């Protein structure tokens, strides 16, 4: 007994559907002798006649009808497999290496990446958190494809900077702090504050203290971890400056106060290389970042009412 073949199953199914070997040959692009040969091979594999030869064509036998049912199932599965393989090729994984400073990683980037992955399910987005100068250097060197950073003063060759948002700076204080019931304060009311900062250096890019050139800040605690900073604030050990984009993840154990000063804003940008290979994905991620930034800005306004 021979073996059933895919070509033979197609011939049997087409001959049964058309009632003619010659018509089946025409539909499949075979010669009539090739169709007859395939039918003979399939009848040998079945061990039974599959068709009754009549004056005006052919009609499947009971064995033929059984084989046609199985041919439909087998060929249907093969068509599905072919489509799945085609879809797999169209969903070839895309990869974009993304960096961001710590507070951008808290809500802005996660929301944008979720939107990107919904649009590109096979996307891979390796993340890198770091200080903004290092992230900018990594983009320029090709180690990152895109990064969210405070707008840089100097732009390396081959790097594009697109403005993303003007992020308001806020002061986080304990709920029972004298400023906790204020919507906004001027810098002169912050001069006597004890600060919890990411660095003892007032000029550091790590947020924490409001810098007043007329009076150096009183940094009571240095803590780079945001949970540590906010824990100290909630315990009444001092105040800390936080960016607006972090508002969605800030605990209810701290109160937020707007700083009423033109410098109380951090201009934030998207930076990427001009030679980025898959610019389509970069554009989609940038668009998602803009949408996330707009949503976060609305949440800041709502929290400060």
Q: Residue 276's pLDDT is what?
A: 63
CATH number at residue 125: 3.40.190.10
- Considering the domain architecture, whether residues 261 and 174 belong to the same structural domain is answered as yes
Q: Are strands 255-259 and 184-185 parallel, antiparallel or unpaired?
A: parallel
Is the predicted pLDDT of residue 87 greater than 60, yes or no? no
- Considering the domain architecture, whether residues 116 and 185 belong to the same structural domain is answered as no
DSSP secondary structure letter of residue 51 = E
Three-state SS at 211? coil
- Considering the domain architecture, whether residues 71 and 96 belong to the same structural domain is answered as no
Q: What is the pTM of this model?
A: 0.65
Q: Report the range out of 113-117, 190-194, 204-208, 212-216 with the highest average pLDDT.
A: 113-117
The more confident residue out of 275 and 229 is 229
Calculate mean pLDDT across residues 54-71: 89
- Considering the domain architecture, whether residues 73 and 197 belong to the same structural domain is answered as no
Q: Which residue range forms the structural domain that includes residue 36? A: 6-83
- Considering the domain architecture, whether residues 13 and 48 belong to the same structural domain is answered as yes
Q: Is 98 exposed, middle or buried (0-12, 13-18, 19+ CB in 10 A)?
A: buried
Is the predicted pLDDT of residue 157 greater than 60, yes or no? yes
Is the predicted pLDDT of residue 173 greater than 70, yes or no? yes
195-213 pLDDT, tens digit per residue, is 998 877 655 555 678 877 7
Calculate mean pLDDT across residues 218-228: 86
Q: Residue 121's pLDDT is what?
A: 86
- Considering the domain architecture, whether residues 130 and 199 belong to the same structural domain is answered as no
Q: Residue 90's pLDDT is what?
A: 55
How far is residue 236's CA from residue 258's CA, in Å, rounded to a whole number? 19
Query: Which H or E run includes 273?
Result: strand 265-273
Q: Is 1 part of a structural domain of the chain? A: no
User: Quick one: how far is CA 124 from the chain centroid?
Assistant: 7
Contact 276, 159 (CB under 8 A): no
Calculate mean pLDDT across residues 288-301: 88
Q: Are strands 240-243 and 146-150 parallel, antiparallel or unpaired?
A: unpaired
């Amino acid at each position: 007994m021979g073996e059933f073949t895919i070509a033979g199953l197609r011939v049997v199914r087409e001959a049964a559907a058309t009632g003619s070997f010659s018509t089946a040959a025409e539909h499949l692009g075979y010669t009539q002798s090739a169709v007859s040969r395939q039918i003979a091979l399939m009848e040998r594999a079945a061990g039974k006649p599959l068709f009754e030869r009549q004056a005006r064509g052919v009609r499947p036998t009971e064995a033929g009808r059984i084989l046609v049912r199985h041919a439909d199932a087998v060929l249907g599965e093969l068509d599905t497999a072919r489509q799945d393989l085609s879809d797999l090729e169209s969903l070839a994984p895309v990869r974009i290496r993304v960096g961001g400073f710590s507070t951008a990683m808290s809500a802005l980037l996660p929301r944008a990446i979720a939107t990107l992955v919904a649009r590109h399910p096979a996307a891979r987005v390796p993340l890198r958190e770091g200080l903004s100068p290092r992230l900018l250097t990594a983009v320029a060197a090709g180690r990152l494809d895109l990064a969210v950073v405070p707008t840089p003063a100097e732009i390396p060759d081959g790097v594009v900077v697109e403005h993303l948002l003007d992020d308001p700076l806020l002061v986080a204080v304990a709920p029972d702090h004298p400023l906790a019931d204020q919507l906004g304060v001027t810098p002169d009311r912050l001069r006597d504050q004890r600060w919890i900062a990411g660095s003892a250096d007032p000029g550091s890019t790590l947020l924490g203290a409001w810098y007043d050139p007329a009076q150096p800040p009183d940094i009571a605690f240095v803590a780079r971890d945001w949970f540590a900073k906010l824990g100290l604030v909630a315990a009444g050990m001092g105040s800390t400056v936080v960016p607006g984009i972090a508002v969605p993840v800030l605990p209810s154990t701290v109160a937020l106060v707007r700083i009423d000063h033109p410098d109380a804003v951090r201009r934030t940008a998207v930076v990427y290389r001009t030679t980025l290979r898959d610019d389509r994905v970069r554009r989609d991620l940038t668009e998602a970042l803009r949408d996330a930034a707009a949503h976060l800005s609305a949440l800041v306004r709502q929290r400060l009412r």
